[in-house]
């Protein structure tokens, strides 16, 4: 799965090098035996961002670093390129990330699906595991959020699912790693809140296609079904999101 993520990253036209940052010798061996690059890092990092910052600190010949999380084997190379472009175009932003439309009320209600709220300029205002923004009037009318989503399917359009992709300016990434873990970050277990609490502007653009983050065994089986034919072009069935990657 991680090697597939590397392939998707290298397929992006804006990416010149892909390195797997890991603290596990088994991952290192699997990646290098497949012909890809990997680096061992400390096992004491608090987040994935802290881990890639260790690697970024040892390399000085680039200004932008992309964090593609290892549980996103279906991420589109076009999504990676789009996020990089968004950061380059907005000189005030220190980080860029992506989001997808919600496909079901189950995703809205699940704490495993991170939600992001953005403004009209594609700037992230907040990330949460709770359903935000909260449709108060609809919930009052129907008695619960679950009932409101069932009776008013159009409410789904008000939610955005955060995708596991970050693009950093290198100096912002290295500074981020020096900041202590923030209270909101600890409460929500979301590292991007540390950046928001320190005033970093985060661009959040829509992903070019939907993906499937592998957080559970069920997710893993869904991805295995999609890539089982061994093709380099993955079509996500309509039951899985109806997108071509």
Report the percent of the chain where pLDDT is more than 90: 72
Mean pLDDT of all residues in the chain? Answer: 88
The CATH code of the domain that includes 210 is: 3.90.550.10
Q: Is position 176 within any domain?
A: yes
Q: Is position 30 within any domain?
A: no
pLDDT digits (tens, 9 = 90+) for 220-229: 787 788 777 5
Q: Is position 163 within any domain?
A: yes
Q: Is position 19 within any domain?
A: no
The answer, yes or no, to whether residue 212 has pLDDT greater than 80, is no
The answer, yes or no, to whether residue 243 has pLDDT greater than 60, is no
The answer, yes or no, to whether residue 240 has pLDDT greater than 70, is no
The answer, yes or no, to whether residue 64 has pLDDT greater than 60, is yes
Say if CB 75 and CB 163 are below 8 A apart. yes
Total domains in the chain come to: 1
Phi, psi (deg, nearest 5) at residue 129: -85, -15
Tokens 């999609």 correspond to 226
Q: What is the pLDDT of residue 231?
A: 43
Q: Is position 152 within any domain?
A: yes
Say if CB 97 and CB 79 are below 8 A apart. no
Q: Is position 36 within any domain?
A: no
Which has more confidence, 12 or 240? 12
Q: What is the pLDDT of residue 107?
A: 93
Q: What is the pLDDT of residue 237?
A: 36
Q: Is position 32 within any domain?
A: no
Q: What is the pLDDT of residue 244?
A: 24
3-state SS class at 143? coil
Q: What residues contact residue 93 under an 8 Å CB cut-off, 6+ apart? A: 86, 87, 123, 201, 202, 203
Q: What is the pLDDT of residue 229?
A: 52
Q: Is position 99 within any domain?
A: yes
- Using 50, 70 and 90 to split pLDDT, how confident is the model at 194? very high
Q: What is the pLDDT of residue 73?
A: 81
- Note down the domain range covering 105: 61-244
């Amino acid at each position: 799965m991680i090697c597939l993520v590397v392939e998707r990253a290298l397929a992006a036209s804006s990416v010149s090098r892909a390195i797997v940052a890991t603290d596990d010798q088994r991952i290192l061996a699997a990646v290098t035996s497949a012909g890809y690059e990997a680096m061992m890092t400390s096992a004491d990092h608090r987040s994935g961002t802290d881990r890639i910052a260790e690697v970024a600190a040892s390399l000085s010949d680039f200004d932008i670093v992309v964090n593609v999380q290892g549980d996103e084997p279906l991420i589109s190379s076009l999504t990676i390129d789009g996020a990089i472009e968004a950061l380059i175009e907005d000189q005030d932003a220190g980080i860029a990330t992506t989001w997808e439309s919600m496909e079901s009320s189950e995703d809205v209600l699940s704490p495993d699906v991170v939600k992001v709220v953005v403004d009209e300029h594609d700037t992230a205002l907040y990330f949460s595991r709770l359903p935000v923004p909260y449709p108060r009037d609809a919930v009052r009318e129907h008695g619960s959020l679950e009932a409101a989503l069932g009776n008013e399917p159009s409410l789904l359009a008000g939610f955005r699912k955060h995708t596991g992709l970050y693009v950093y300016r290198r100096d912002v990434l290295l500074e981020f790693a020096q900041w202590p873990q923030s209270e909101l970050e600890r409460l929500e277990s979301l590292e991007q809140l540390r950046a928001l609490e320190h005033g970093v502007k985060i661009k959040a653009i829509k992903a070019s296609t939907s993906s499937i983050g592998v957080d559970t065994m069920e997710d893993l089986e869904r991805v295995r079904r999609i890539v089982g034919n061994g093709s380099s072009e993955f079509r996500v069935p309509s039951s899985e999101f109806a997108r071509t990657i």
